[in-house]
Amino acid sequence: MDAAVLTCRDLTRSFGALKAVDGVSFSVAPGETYGLLGPNGAGKTTIISMIAGLLEPDGGEIQVAGRVMTPSAKDAKAAVGLVPQDLAIYPDLTGRENLEFFARLYGIDRDARRNRIGEVLAVTGLTDRANDRSSTYSGGMKRRLNIGIGLLHRPLLLILDEPTVGVDPQSRNAIMSAIEILADDGISVLYTTHYMEEAERLCDRIGIIDQGRVVAEGSRRQLIAMVGENDLVRLSVSSDALRAAKACRDVPGVESADVDDGVVVCLMENAAERLAAMLAAVTSAGVSITGVNVREPDLEDLFLHVTGKALRE
Amino acid sequence: MIRSALIILAKDLRLRSRDRSVLLFAFVIPLALTGVFTLILPSDDDFLLTVAIVDEDGGAIAEAFTNGVVPALVNEGFVDASYVDSADTARRMLDDDEVSAAWIVPEGFSHAVMAATPTKFIVLHNPDRVLSTEVARGVAEDFVAEVRRVGVAVATTAAASGGTLDQRQLDAVTARAANTAGLLMVGAVDTEVRQLDATSYLGAGMAVFFLFFTVTFGITGLLEERDQRTLPRLLAAPIGISAVHLGKAIGAFVIGMASMTVLAVGNRVLLGVDWGPPLGVAVLITAGVLCALGVMALVGSYAKTAEQANNLQSIVALVFGLSGGVFFPVGATGWMASLSLFSPHGWFLRGLGDQVGSGSWTGVLPATGALLAGALVAGLLGALRLRKAAA
């Protein structure tokens, strides 16, 4: 992975007694979209902050395009475009002025600046409103401007920290489409999210992160394979879900049975043949079944599988 | 670093030019307040203290007041004195509003002073005439303070000469009491500040008072960047944190200098103030802006948000302003005068007064030195704290 745009090796970072990042290693290849998927508080933003040069790691090393990243590493920073989770724009400047300011800060010369700002305005769909103060923009437009600033200097690595938080479904879809276009153009993207469907749609590879550690990593197919070639059965029960889960585990072919929000979630081989036996076992345990759902597992199920808890917790 | 700092500066100035509160604090309000206060407050030329004087003592110290101090004040055009024979007459004149105050030197006053024993100097006043009351009381307090020193001198001299005073020593002590007239002529108003007329003093006071609010718009810029979430984006760019600090500091300096320059010119053109030679004014303004920058950077370093910084800085600006005498002269002596030595505002006003008094721009140099020393100390402490916070 020598040609990786981003390489993180054994990163650690603590805040007082809290170990926010604990030995995280991963890499992002040129043109790859890599997702960090985990619940709020898992350590995603801390990892992003270290990669963007905002925080010094307590241990480990970050290399961006072969350059070691530290808060004072200007050459490494020049290779990164950061789109923070919060809107990082000046509301009293117009969209064009916001872009102009950051383009100058990144040292883009005058002629290239004018062209590049025009391109970014076009990509983000803000050309018509470029000369309006960004305080007058809709939430989605502000988000697009926020992303546009990160793209201005054609970074080798674009970091997007939960860019769709607080965005309406329509704008969210537009943002994800824009990111897909960028990925198609060959830019490397590091994307953090706690929305499973975003990670599944956008990312070539995904790192599942929990409590500051990468607990699983791979393509969607590889990650789902970790759950096994099993079916996922969700049993809604009227009473004691824990007793129902215990009864399920005793059924041959059931690999795991956990309780998620009062629902029993089972991984089992060949549900078509074994489901009747499992339902009988639950009923025999004195628990009434109110609903049954059988499907293939997804990343949310993987998260539950490897951490024992739901992604949204 | 300079290039990045200038880019940040240009952005900040563009933002500030769109912020009406900056324009109001930096340019409009100080000038408007000076104009309004000039209209509603009596000027030095308008003020005349009408006072009745009663000498029930007839001694040497009392005569030093009635024949030395009071005539000097009358000659200054500051006092209209009526010598009357009794306290009752003085009270009647007060009741009839013929005078606004009365000074009564009671019987035995001079003897008590010579014997260094406790005594009284009586001030009667009309409660409806607040300004006259304060001035009459101020003159009396200054006289009594000098008399107290005379009393101590008497006691010391008497002790040294075996408990008695010869005529030569007595004459010397009396003469010293009489010389209080020199102090009292300006006793109600600070010695140096007296060199500025009322409008010039008020204009300078308002300008330096609002300067400390104006520079905060630059100083708190870093906290504002943090509050509006743009700081991470700035720090992720290939520039150092020092460039951000420098850009903010230059921004505050530019806004402060622009404000003071406009106010100096505006006060001169619109209100006719006289702050003395322009070179001295420029030097003092530069030192004042630097001091405001340093002080407010230090204060701002104790805040976690821009709002918190604004609150802290407002309190400090108000305390320094009041103790420095921006709204009223603090006097040449007494605890307020001592307190004003710790106020940049006090030094700024003192510097202008010195310049006008001396007629040369070099008159501002002592105050400039004090302001620059304050700027250096506060600025270094503030920079160290900000650097530590950034790390």
Q: What is the pLDDT of residues A124-177, one digit of tens each?
A: 889 999 999 999 998 888 988 999 999 899 899 999 998 888 778 887 888 888
Cβ-proximal residues to B320 (8 Å cutoff; 6+ apart), any chain: B212, B295, B343, B344, B345
Kindly report the average pLDDT of chain B as a whole number. Answer: 81
pLDDT band of residue B177 (cuts 50, 70, 90) is low
Residue in B204, B203, B227, B255 with CA at minimum distance from that of residue B367 = B204
Total Cβ atoms within 10 A of residue A149: 26
d(CA B277, CA B290): 20
What does the block give as tokens for B337? 């005068």
Do the chains contact at B15 and A88, CB–CB below 8 Å? no
Report strand pairing: A6-15 vs A59-64. Answer: antiparallel
User: Could you give the maximum distance between any two Cα atoms of chain B, in Å?
Assistant: 85
Angle at which helices A95-105 and A110-124 pack, to 10 degrees? 130
d(CA B43, CA B95): 26
What's the confidence (pLDDT) of residue B333?
Answer: 53
d(CA B192, CA B354): 6
Report strand pairing: A157-161 vs A188-193. Answer: parallel
pLDDT exceeds cutoff 70 at B386: yes
Total Cβ atoms within 10 A of residue B106: 16
Mutation test of the interface with chain A: which of B233, B241, B242, B244, choosing the one with the most A Cβ atoms within 10 A? Answer: B233
User: Among all chains, which residue has been given the structure tokens 């276009």?
Assistant: A181
Nearest-CA residue of chain A relative to B232? A54
pLDDT band of residue B303 (cuts 50, 70, 90) is confident
Nearest-CA residue of chain B relative to A70? B236
d(CA A74, CA A153): 14
Low-confidence ranges of chain A (pLDDT < 50): 1
Do the chains contact at A89 and B234, CB–CB below 8 Å? no
d(CA A5, CA A157): 7
What does the block give as tokens for B315? 């309190």
**Binding-site residues on chain A for chain B (CB distance < 8 A):** 49, 52-54, 71-72, 74-75, 77-78, 80, 82, 84, 86-93, 97, 101-102, 104-107, 149
Nearest-CA residue of chain B relative to A89? B230
Average pLDDT over residues B319-329: 83
pLDDT exceeds cutoff 90 at B220: no
Nearest-CA residue of chain B relative to A86? B229
Total Cβ atoms within 10 A of residue B379: 20
State the smallest CA–CA distance between residue B14 and chain A in angstroms: 8
Which residue of B11, B232, B241 is in closest CB contact with A101? Answer: B11
Residue in B51, B142, B32, B61 with CA at minimum distance from that of residue B99 = B51
What does the block give as tokens for A24? 């995280």
What does the block give as tokens for A217? 């990593």
Cβ-proximal residues to B322 (8 Å cutoff; 6+ apart), any chain: none
CB B219 within 8 A of CB B10: no
What's the confidence (pLDDT) of residue B188?
Answer: 36
Do the chains contact at B229 and A102, CB–CB below 8 Å? no
Which residue of A84, A97, A106 is in closest CB contact with B232? Answer: A84
d(CA B128, CA B105): 23
State the smallest CA–CA distance between residue A98 and chain B in angstroms: 9
Do the chains contact at A101 and B7, CB–CB below 8 Å? yes
State the smallest CA–CA distance between residue B289 and chain A in angstroms: 27
Total Cβ atoms within 10 A of residue B370: 20
pLDDT band of residue B161 (cuts 50, 70, 90) is low
State the smallest CA–CA distance between residue A13 and chain B in angstroms: 15
State the smallest CA–CA distance between residue A261 and chain B in angstroms: 35
AA identity, residue B127: P
Average pLDDT over residues B269-280: 87
d(CA B337, CA B95): 34
User: Among all chains, which residue has been given the structure tokens 């293939």?
Assistant: A296
CB B168 within 8 A of CB B242: no
AA identity, residue B115: A
Cα–Cα distance list, B203 to B175, B181, B209, B265, B266 (Å)? 39, 29, 10, 11, 10
pLDDT tens per residue across span B363-384: 899 999 999 999 999 989 988 8
Which residue of A72, A78, A105 is in closest CB contact with B7? Answer: A105
What's the confidence (pLDDT) of residue B339?
Answer: 81
Cα–Cα distance list, B195 to B22, B71, B76, B348, B362 (Å)? 32, 21, 14, 14, 15
Which residue of B230, B237, B238 is in closest CB contact with A90? Answer: B230
Do the chains contact at B240 and A72, CB–CB below 8 Å? yes
CB B133 within 8 A of CB B101: yes
Do the chains contact at B234 and A105, CB–CB below 8 Å? yes
Measured between beta carbons, the chain A residues lying within 8 angstroms of B7 are 101, 104-105
Do the chains contact at A102 and B4, CB–CB below 8 Å? no
Reported for A268-277, long-range contacts at CB under 8 A and 24+ positions apart, including other chains, are A268/A230, A268/A231, A268/A233, A269/A229, A269/A230, A269/A231, A270/A231, A271/A231, A271/A233, A275/A233, A277/A251, A277/A252
More confident call, B218 vs B124: B124
Q: At A187, is the secondary structure helix, strand, or coil? A: coil
Do the chains contact at A54 and B236, CB–CB below 8 Å? yes
**How many residue pairs bridge chain A and chain B with CB atoms within 8 Å of each other?**
61
Sheet (strand A205-210) strand order? A80-83, A157-161, A188-193, A33-37, A205-210, A213-218
What's the confidence (pLDDT) of residue B75?
Answer: 83
pLDDT exceeds cutoff 50 at B191: no
Do the chains contact at B14 and A97, CB–CB below 8 Å? yes
Do the chains contact at A49 and B4, CB–CB below 8 Å? no
d(CA B26, CA B21): 8
Do the chains contact at A90 and B15, CB–CB below 8 Å? yes
Total Cβ atoms within 10 A of residue B224: 19
Q: What is the DSSP string of B253-306?
A: HHHHHHHHHHHHHHHHHHH----S-HHHHHHHHHHHHHHHHHHHHHHHTT-SSH
pTM metric for this prediction? 0.68
What does the block give as tokens for B364? 């501002």
d(CA A82, CA B57): 86
State the smallest CA–CA distance between residue B300 and chain A in angstroms: 22
Total Cβ atoms within 10 A of residue B24: 14
Do the chains contact at B236 and A90, CB–CB below 8 Å? no
**Binding-site residues on chain B for chain A (CB distance < 8 A):** 4, 7-8, 11, 14-15, 18-19, 228-230, 232-241
Measured between beta carbons, the chain B residues lying within 8 angstroms of A75 are 238
Q: What proportion of chain B, given as a percentage, has pLDDT over 90? A: 19
Residue A250: exposure state from Cβ atoms within 10 A (0-12, 13-18, ≥19): exposed
pLDDT exceeds cutoff 50 at B185: no
Measured between beta carbons, the chain A residues lying within 8 angstroms of B11 are 90, 93, 101
Nearest-CA residue of chain A relative to B224? A90
Nearest-CA residue of chain A relative to B6? A105
State the smallest CA–CA distance between residue A36 and chain B in angstroms: 20
d(CA B279, CA B268): 14
Cβ-proximal residues to B40 (8 Å cutoff; 6+ apart), any chain: none
Do the chains contact at A49 and B232, CB–CB below 8 Å? yes
Average pLDDT over residues B251-256: 90
Measured between beta carbons, the chain B residues lying within 8 angstroms of A53 are 235-236
Measured between beta carbons, the chain A residues lying within 8 angstroms of B238 are 74-75, 77-78, 106-107
Mutation test of the interface with chain B: which of A62, A86, A105, A157, choosing the one with the most B Cβ atoms within 10 A? Answer: A105
Average pLDDT over residues B317-328: 85
Cβ-proximal residues to B39 (8 Å cutoff; 6+ apart), any chain: none
pLDDT band of residue B181 (cuts 50, 70, 90) is very low
d(CA B289, CA A262): 66
Total Cβ atoms within 10 A of residue B32: 12
Which residue of A74, A88, A90 is in closest CB contact with B238? Answer: A74
State the smallest CA–CA distance between residue B246 and chain A in angstroms: 14
DSSP state of A193: E
